[in-house]
Amino acid sequence: MDPRRRPVIRDLLATGAVSIAIGTLVLRWAAGPIALAGMLAFEAVVGVYLVWWTVDHLDELPGPRLGWANRITASRLFLVPPAALGLFLAPPGAGRWAVLALIGALLATDWLDGLVARRLGEVTRFGTFLDPTADFFFELMLTAALAAQGLVPLALAGVVVLRVALLSIGGFVLLERGVDRTELASLVLGRPAILALVVALLLGSATWAAGAEQGRLLEWASWVAFLLLVASLGEKLALYRRLR
């Protein structure tokens, strides 16, 4: 075994243990043992994927350890399953607000890992691929959970699935062909689209936590996110076609 693997795997396991402990506390209060069993199954898949990906990309790490920025990003991957399962299974009550707080913490890690990476000089190729993977997982799981309960349109869930598929395939194609990823900086609709999606997901989660039905504000926010995501996908498709 490559001696570099051991400290990195220890970092991943420690990150996973802390994240799973937090998720367990939230789900035990909010949703009960069925949700906990589902969470552990999800976490096993996440853990195997992270170990496999990390071991395969050791040369792209910031040093002999995982790095604090990557730990924060990995924690987001581990915290998505309890957040999504809480949205599916938590009955009305105070536990739903704990799930909402967990979702807020997930969004905070998306901002924090980039800040830490820049401050500590840990901006790496590894992080630039792990971070969108965590974002995709978060977007897919939460949109699916809210759409299943009628709080956001199924069309929004569909375009999120399409976006993740397109960006994942397109990203690998660009990587294989050696295309400079800075080409993506020319795109202008991506950030507004993601901001609109985050707003819709937060509004949907807050509506769910309050035990309310979809209101006009949430409906408008969902359709604005849908339209911006569609426009953003069109912009990316045009770029992929030009680069091809």
Q: Which two tokens stand for residue 167?
A: 């960006």
Instruction: Give the helix/strand (H/E) hosting 35.
Output: helix 33-55
How is the chain split into domains, by residue range? 1-123, 149-244
Cα distances (angstroms) measured from residue 167 to each of 160, 173, 194, 196, 234: 11, 10, 13, 18, 12
Q: Is pLDDT above 70 for 244?
A: no
Q: Tell me, what's the pLDDT at 177?
A: 57
- pLDDT by residue (tens digit) across 109-165? 988 998 998 898 888 888 888 898 899 999 999 999 999 989 999 999 999 999 888
- pLDDT by residue (tens digit) across 3-49? 778 888 999 999 999 999 999 999 988 888 888 888 999 999 999 99
On the 0-12 / 13-18 / 19+ scale of CB atoms within 10 A, 90 is: buried
- pLDDT by residue (tens digit) across 80-95? 999 999 998 999 888 9
This prediction's pTM: 0.89
Angle at 141 between CA 20 and CA 202, to 5 degrees: 95
